[in-house]
Homo-oligomer: A and B are copies of this chain.
Amino acid sequence: MHSELYNIGQAAKASGISAKMIRHYEEVGLLPAASRTLSGYRTYNHQDVHMLRFIRHSRDLGFSIKQIADLLSLWRDMNRPSSKVKQLATEHIEMLNQKIQELNAMKSELTRLVSCCHGDERPDCPILDELAQDK
């Protein structure tokens, strides 16, 4: 196993997280402070890049930074109970469900309104009428 070093741009490419966000994650404490070259450049090794990939995958699934921090600490804890991970994921699914439900409610209401609107050159518009309703 070589411990070849990456600078932040290479780590970004290898992990799929922008250099910008890597610095940000470090600043907010999601990542430990990277080691530096003499001239101050951040350096990353394979393990660091592995962690970055973990973060990206978590982010792609919509986990918040706080949740990702929890996932990372579970990941590092070799004695974690898998129930904790499952619970975290399940809670996130619930959050997703809630958001999806909200968006779906908006969508169906809007779809209903749109289907009522002629959509021609005349000014009459049930969409505006409904938005203007006092209900």
- Residues of A in contact with B (beta carbons under 8 Å apart): 50, 53-54, 57-58, 60-62, 71, 74-75, 77-83, 85-87, 89-90, 92-93, 96-97, 99-100, 103-104, 106-107, 109-111, 113-114, 117-125, 127-128, 130-134
Contact = CB atoms under 8 A, between A and B. Distances in A.
A80 B120 CA distance: 10
Kindly report how many copies of this chain are found in the complex they form together.
2
B100 A134 contact: no
5 contacts: A50-B134, A61-B110, A81-B123, A87-B119, A93-B114
Contacts of A127: 82, 85-86, 89
Nearest to A113: B89
B61 A121 contact: no
Contacts of A62: 103, 106
B54 A131 contact: yes
A114 B83 CA distance: 10
A98 to B, nearest CB: 10
